[in-house]
Homo-oligomer: A and B are copies of this chain.
Amino acid sequence: MPKVGMEPLRRRALIDAAIAAIGERGSLDVTMSDIAGRAGVSSALAHHYFGAKEGLLQATMRHLLAELGRDVRTALSGASEPRSRVAAIVRVNFSEAQFQEETIAAWLAFYVAAQHSGELRRLLRIYACRLHSNLMSGLAPLMPRSEAERTAEAIAALIDGLYIRRALKDGPPNAASAIAIVEDFLAMKIGYSSP
């Protein structure tokens, strides 16, 4: 039983537990004790590592954002054609790693909370900017700039809308139909050249 170097493990366990708790409850209104309990530690330890609940929540959101960012980067690294870059971004957002019940619920909870919390808002904006510029890197070569801007905005809205509408559905998320909807939009927008 290693008694040193536990910090990164605990941090990670606590963040995972936070995602689970938030995802299950569908809001940030979860207790530190619940999270800590899921991670198998005392709530005092959670405070020890993250200072306060807010610290843990921010770290959790950062983690979510970082994971998505990594997936997107990976997906983009294998897509050189503009069209396929856009498709790759869309696909990642509905990939198995991202588009699962728990993650979706946590994601939305953070999204809504970001409306009124300085730091969460900042984090989410950074992500939004990155998404936008990633989309633009694929769209810009295919249409006039202003058109590309609006298209990027629409795709982002579609993605977020498809996420939020999961809130009403039962059963496992259907990534395929979600992707189809976005792809359909894209196809109309930039013509039916294969992605």
Chain A residues with a Cβ under 8 A of chain B? 24-29, 105, 108-109, 111-116, 121, 124-125, 128, 150, 153-154, 156-162, 164-165, 167-168, 177, 180-181, 184-185, 188-189
Contact = CB atoms under 8 A, between A and B. Distances in A.
Number of copies: 4
A54 B24 CA distance: 19
B26 A167 contact: no
A14 to B, nearest CB: 21
Nearest to A115: B26
A82 B168 CA distance: 27
Nearest 4 interchain pairs by C-beta:
A161-B161, A157-B161, A26-B115, A160-B161
Contacts of A188: 185, 188-189
A157 B168 contact: no
B26 A116 contact: yes
A128 B28 CA distance: 25
Contacts of A180: 150
A6 to B, nearest CB: 16
Contact of A167 (B115, B154, B184): B115
A156 B153 CA distance: 16
A3 to B, nearest CB: 13
Nearest to A178: B157
A156 B111 CA distance: 19
Contact of A25 (B111, B116, B121, B161): B116
B111 A115 contact: no
